[in-house]
Amino acid sequence: MKMKKILAAVLAGVMALSATACSSSSTKKIESPDDFAGAKVSVQTGTTAHDALQKMQEEGVDVEILPYEKITQCFDDVSLGRADAVYVDSVVAAYYLADDDSKFQSVWKSDEGEPMGVCIKKGNTDLLEQTENAINTLYYNGKISELAMKHFGTDVTEGVRNVNEEPTVDPSKVKTVKDGVLTIGFEAGYPPLEYTDDSGLVYQGFDVDMAEEIGKLFGLEVEFVNTSFDGVFAGLDKGQYDMIIAGVSITPERQEAYEMTEPYLSNQLVIVTKKDA
């Protein structure tokens, strides 16, 4: 009997340790980046949010960065109490905050914009020009607003571009595209911009639909190349695809290294925490 009690006590201790290891509750209250000191913040690698957190560390802020390839993993961390917050784009945060029973809350939004554009290899100005014309066409005919309502529940494209005259798309100038297929580099783990359905086989999202519409205007088939976001630019450098449509924030560094379109989505960095954290 004594041995059974000892074994039961040991087992209870092991189970308690296991539960602690699987999920550590976090009580750090965060209301702005000023509260990141001493906090655990999850972020997708290669993003401007990741860059900002790394810069904070370099400046001496004691923030623990929890980097992941997919944004879904970041939100899982907060949900399970392994992270205090997610640092993320507002258009993506809106996806997780849309339901009335959402377990998340947005506690801060940047005053500075993080608009998103299409990224094309440096020097390919013909493809850049026609891509601009194609996006302007989607603004002119209202298709972009339709896609925004479908994926965001609100028109996040309103006021981003003002197109008063119908643009002309000239597919004959899209000379660098091979075999009649427009290839798009992206990372299929960034809802509602780009992700897969429940089967994991079908790509969907705002960026996916917009890319398909651009392909139609070019008279080309569209093929998606799924890669990690922190490697997506290297793939473009190597010519693995024609362009990146993956919620790419327009920054001075990216504008210098690549051809970037004008913004097609407005966006800001936000902090998301577990509700009532």
Q: Is the pLDDT of residue 224 over 90?
A: yes
Rounded to 10 deg, the angle between the 143-152 and 125-140 helix axes is: 80
Q: Is the pLDDT of residue 11 over 70?
A: no
* Peptide bond between residue 252 and the one before it cis (omega within 30 degrees of 0): no
* CATH 3.40.190.10 for domain 24-112: yes
- What pLDDT is stored for residue 183 in this prediction? 99
pLDDT-derived band at 98 (thresholds 50, 70, 90) equals confident
120-154 pLDDT, tens digit per residue, is 999 999 999 999 999 999 999 999 999 999 999 88
- What pLDDT is stored for residue 12 in this prediction? 45
For residues 238-247, average pLDDT: 98
Counting residues of the chain whose pLDDT is more than 70, the rounded percentage is 90
Q: How many whole angstroms separate alpha carbon 26 and alpha carbon 81?
A: 5
Q: Is the pLDDT of residue 4 over 50?
A: no
| Cβ-contact 64, 234 below 8 angstroms | no
Q: Is the pLDDT of residue 104 over 70?
A: yes
Q: How many whole angstroms separate alpha carbon 181 and alpha carbon 187?
A: 19
Tokens 């340790």 belong to residue: 17
Measured distance between the N- and C-terminal CA atoms of the chain, rounded to whole angstroms: 45
Q: How many whole angstroms separate alpha carbon 242 and alpha carbon 235?
A: 10
pLDDT-derived band at 100 (thresholds 50, 70, 90) equals confident
Q: What amino acid occupies position 173?
A: K
Q: Is the pLDDT of residue 34 over 90?
A: yes
42-92 pLDDT, tens digit per residue, is 999 999 999 999 999 999 999 999 999 999 999 999 999 999 999 999 999
Q: How many whole angstroms separate alpha carbon 109 and alpha carbon 177?
A: 39
How is the beta sheet containing 85-89 ordered, strand by strand?
A: 64-68, 40-44, 85-89, 268-274, 104-113
- What pLDDT is stored for residue 86 in this prediction? 98
Q: Is the pLDDT of residue 234 over 70?
A: yes
Q: Is the pLDDT of residue 9 over 50?
A: no
For residues 190-197, average pLDDT: 96
Q: How many whole angstroms separate alpha carbon 125 and alpha carbon 131?
A: 10
DSSP 119-186: EE-TT-HHHHHHHHHHHHHHHHTTHHHHHHHHHHSS-TTTTT----S-----GGG--S--TTEEEEEE
101 alpha carbon, distance to own chain's centre: 22
Q: Is the pLDDT of residue 26 over 70?
A: no
Q: What amino acid occupies position 148?
A: A
Contacts of residue 44, Cβ cutoff 8 Å, sequence gap at least 6:
50, 67, 68, 69, 70, 71, 74, 88, 190, 229
- What pLDDT is stored for residue 5 in this prediction? 40
Tell me where in the chain the CATH 3.40.190.10 domain(s) lie: 24-112, 116-268
Q: How many whole angstroms separate alpha carbon 21 and alpha carbon 218?
A: 52
**Can you name the residues that pair with 72 across neighbouring β-strands?**
none
Closest CA to 227 of 194, 188, 192: 188
| pTM exceeds 0.75 | yes
Fold of the domain spanning 116-268: D-Maltodextrin-Binding Protein; domain 2 (3.40.190)
Question: CA geometry: angle at 91 spanning 90 and 93, to 5°?
Answer: 60
Q: How many whole angstroms separate alpha carbon 277 and alpha carbon 273?
A: 7
pLDDT-derived band at 27 (thresholds 50, 70, 90) equals low
- What pLDDT is stored for residue 231 in this prediction? 96
pLDDT-derived band at 19 (thresholds 50, 70, 90) equals very low
- What pLDDT is stored for residue 14 in this prediction? 40
